[in-house]
C-alpha cells in the first residue's frame, strides 16, 4: 500500500510540475515554459543572456506564431511579434495601461506613481496634455525659428570645439588633439542633446564653461539606462532583491535617476525661492507648471499637479534626450564608417543641396531624402527600445483572437518587427534605399522606432529634428575614422533599458 501511495504522490507532483511549467490562462497565445521564481525569464536568459529579448524570436519560430505569451515572475505577459500585431496592440485603447503598482518604478519617484512613463488613466492624460500643450510653445515637436536657431548655434559651436580643440581639462575628457581631432562618442554630443531639451524646459541656455553639468547628468542617464532591463529583469519580478545593494544594477539605476532629478530640483527650488516663476517675462515650461500649482493651491483645487510630479515629469522628458538620442546618433556615425558607400551618398547629397558655406537646416530635410532615409534605416536596423515601453491591459479583452485577462503586460517586439522578412525583404541588410521610391523620394515610413498609438513617444518629432540637424552637420564637415583598439564592431553594444553603443573614440577628419 505504501509503495502505491508513493507512486501516486510522485505522479501528482510530476503532474503539478508539468501543469506549472506549461500552464497559462485559457485561450491565450502559445507560451514559453516557466519554472519557479522568475518563470519564463530563465529561458529567455538561457537563449541570450545579454539581450534576453532576442529569445522571443526563437520561440515565435518554434511555435510558428506571431503572438507569444510567457510569465515574468508573477506577471503574465503577451508579446506581439510582427507589424500587424504590434500595430493592433499599440492602437487598442484597452492596452493603454502601464505597470503602476511596482516598487521598481515607484522607487525612482519618491515611492509614488509619478511622471508620464509609468502612470496611466486620467492622471496620465491630464499631465501629458498639459506638458505637450505648453512645451510645444517652446519648440518641442513643432517647427519654431528660435529653437532651430539655438540648435544650429550649438551645432556650430560643436564644430568649432572639434576644430580648435579642447579649452579646458573637462573638454579633454571628450576631445583629443592629433593628426585629426578625436572625439569620444556619444559624450561629445551630450551638451547639444541635453541643452536642447533643457532650453525648452527652463528657457535657459547653458554656456560652454558649464557644459560639464550637461555631460554629468547625461552620463547619469546612461548609468540609469544601462543598469535596467528592457524586460524589467529580476528586480521587477523579485522586488526584495533591491535590498541587496547593486545586485542586478538596481542601486546604480536609482542613483542615475536621482542625479537627474536632483539637477532639476535644484533649479526648480531656486525658481520658487526667488519667486521668479510668477514674475519672469521670459516664460518657460517650468514657470508655467509652477504657476499651475500655485493657481490650484489658491483655488483649493485637488489635482495631479505637484512639485514632486514636476520633478519626475521632467526627468521622464529629459532622459531620452540625455541618453537615447546621442546614442542613436553615435551609432549612425559608426555605421557610416562600416558603410562608406552610404556615407558618400549622404555627403554628396548634402554637398549638392546645402554646400559648404552653411549648416543644413530643417527646411533642407525634404530636399535631402537619402540623408533622411539613412536616419530611418538606422532607427529601424538598430532598434534602441527593442520591446518599447510595456503596456498593460486595463480590462479583459481580445487580441488577435486570443483572450487577454486584465492586468496582462503587453509587449511589442519592435526589434522583431523591424527585421520581419515579409515587410522588409532583406531586413539584415543596411540599405537606406528601402525608404525611397523609384524616383528617389521618401514614402510613408512603416517602421515604429518611437512606438505608435495613444502612447507614442511624445518626443518623436523633437528627436527626429535634432537627429537630422546634428547628423547632417557632422557628415557635411567630417569623415569619421576608426581608432585602433576602440569598440568598432556593429554589435559592440550595451544592454539595458535601451540598447546603447559602447563608448568609443572616433577620429573626425575634416573634409576638404
| Residue 288 clears pLDDT 60, i.e. is over it | yes
pLDDT at 276: 55
For 34-88, how does the pLDDT look when each residue is reduced to its tens digit (9 = 90+)?
A: 998 899 999 999 999 999 999 999 999 999 999 999 999 889 999 999 999 999 9
| Surface-to-core class of residue 485, CB atoms within 10 Å of its CB (0-12 exposed, 13-18 middle, 19+ buried) | exposed
Length of the chain equals: 512
Numbered ranges of CATH 1.10.630.10 in the chain: 96-383+418-510
| Residue 282 clears pLDDT 80, i.e. is over it | no
| Residue 450 clears pLDDT 80, i.e. is over it | yes
The answer to whether the beta carbons of residues 388 and 411 sit under 8 Å apart is: yes
* CA-atom Rg of the chain in angstroms: 24
First and final C-alpha spacing in the chain: 93
Known binding residue 457? Answer is: yes
pLDDT band at 9 (very low <50, low <70, confident <90, very high): low
In angstroms, rounded to a whole number, what is the distance separating the alpha carbons of residues 325 and 302?
A: 36
Q: Which of 10-14, 168-172, 234-238 has the lowest mean pLDDT?
A: 10-14
- Return the higher-pLDDT residue of 3 and 47: 47
Q: Give me the CATH topology for the region 96-383+418-510.
A: Cytochrome p450 (1.10.630)
Mean per-residue pLDDT, 86-108: 90
In angstroms, rounded to a whole number, what is the distance separating the alpha carbons of residues 351 and 91?
A: 41
pLDDT at 16: 64
Amino acid at each position: 500500500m505504501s509503495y502505491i501511495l508513493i507512486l501516486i504522490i510522485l505522479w501528482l507532483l510530476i503532474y503539478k510540475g508539468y501543469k506549472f511549467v506549461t500552464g497559462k490562462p485559457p485561450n491565450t497565445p502559445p507560451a514559453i515554459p516557466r519554472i519557479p521564481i522568475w518563470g519564463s525569464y530563465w529561458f529567455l536568459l538561457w537563449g541570450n543572456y545579454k539581450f534576453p529579448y532576442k529569445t522571443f524570436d526563437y520561440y515565435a519560430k518554434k511555435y510558428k506564431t506571431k503572438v507569444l505569451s510567457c510569465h515574468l515572475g508573477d506577471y503574465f505577459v503577451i508579446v506581439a511579434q510582427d507589424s500587424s500585431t504590434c500595430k493592433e496592440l499599440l492602437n487598442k485603447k484597452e492596452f493603454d495601461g502601464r505597470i503602476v503598482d511596482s516598487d521598481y518604478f515607484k522607487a525612482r519617484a519618491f515611492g509614488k506613481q509619478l511622471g508620464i512613463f509609468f502612470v496611466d488613466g486620467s492622471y496620465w492624460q491630464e499631465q501629458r496634455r498639459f506638458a505637450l500643450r505648453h512645451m510645444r510653445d517652446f519648440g518641442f515637436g513643432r517647427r519654431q525659428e528660435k529653437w532651430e536657431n539655438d540648435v544650429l548655434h550649438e551645432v556650430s559651436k560643436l564644430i568649432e570645439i572639434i576644430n580648435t580643440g579642447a579649452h579646458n581639462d573637462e573638454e579633454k575628457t571628450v576631445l583629443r588633439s592629433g593628426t585629426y581631432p578625436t572625439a569620444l562618442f556619444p559624450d561629445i554630443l551630450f551638451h547639444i542633446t541635453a541643452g536642447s531639451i533643457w532650453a525648452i524646459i527652463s528657457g535657459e541656455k547653458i554656456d560652454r564653461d558649464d557644459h560639464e553639468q550637461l555631460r554629468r547628468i547625461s552620463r547619469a542617464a546612461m548609468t540609469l539606462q544601462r543598469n535596467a532591463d528592457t524586460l524589467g529583469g529580476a528586480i521587477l519580478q523579485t522586488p526584495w532583491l533591491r535590498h541587496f545593494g547593486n545586485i542586478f544594477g538596481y542601486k546604480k539605476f536609482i542613483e542615475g535617476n536621482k542625479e537627474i532629478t536632483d539637477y532639476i530640483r535644484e533649479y526648480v527650488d531656486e525658481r520658487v525661492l526667488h519667486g521668479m516663476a510668477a514674475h519672469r517675462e521670459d516664460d518657460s515650461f517650468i514657470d508655467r507648471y509652477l504657476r499651475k500649482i500655485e493657481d490650484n493651491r489658491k483655488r483649493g483645487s485637488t489635482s495631479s499637479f505637484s512639485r514632486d510630479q514636476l520633478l519626475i515629469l521632467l526627468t521622464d522628458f529629459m532622459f531620452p534626450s540625455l541618453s537615447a538620442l546621442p546614442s542613436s546618433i553615435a551609432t549612425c556615425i559608426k555605421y557610416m564608417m562600416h558603410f562608406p558607400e552610404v556615407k558618400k551618398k549622404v555627403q554628396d547629397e548634402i554637398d549638392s543641396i546645402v554646400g559648404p558655406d552653411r549648416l543644413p537646416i530643417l527646411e533642407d530635410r525634404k530636399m535631402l531624402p537619402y540623408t533622411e532615409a539613412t536616419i530611418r534605416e538606422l532607427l529601424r536596423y538598430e532598434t534602441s527600445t527593442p520591446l518599447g515601453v510595456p503596456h498593460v491591459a486595463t480590462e479583459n479583452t481580445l487580441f488577435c483572437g486570443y483572450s487577454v485577462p486584465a492586468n496582462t503586460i503587453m509587449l511589442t517586439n519592435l526589434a522583431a518587427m523591424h527585421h520581419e522578412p515579409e515587410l522588409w525583404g532583406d531586413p539584415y541588410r543596411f540599405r537606406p534605399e528601402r525608404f525611397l521610391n523609384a524616383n528617389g523620394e521618401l514614402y510613408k515610413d512603416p517602421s515604429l522606432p518611437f512606438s505608435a498609438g495613444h502612447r507614442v513617444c511624445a518626443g518623436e518629432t523633437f528627436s527626429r529634428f535634432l537627429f537630422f540637424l546634428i547628423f547632417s552637420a557632422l557628415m557635411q564637415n567630417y569623415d569619421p575614422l576608426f581608432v585602433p583598439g576602440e569598440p568598432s564592431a556593429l554589435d559592440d553594444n550595451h544592454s539595458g533599458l535601451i540598447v546603447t553603443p559602447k563608448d568609443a573614440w572616433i577620429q573626425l577628419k575634416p573634409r576638404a
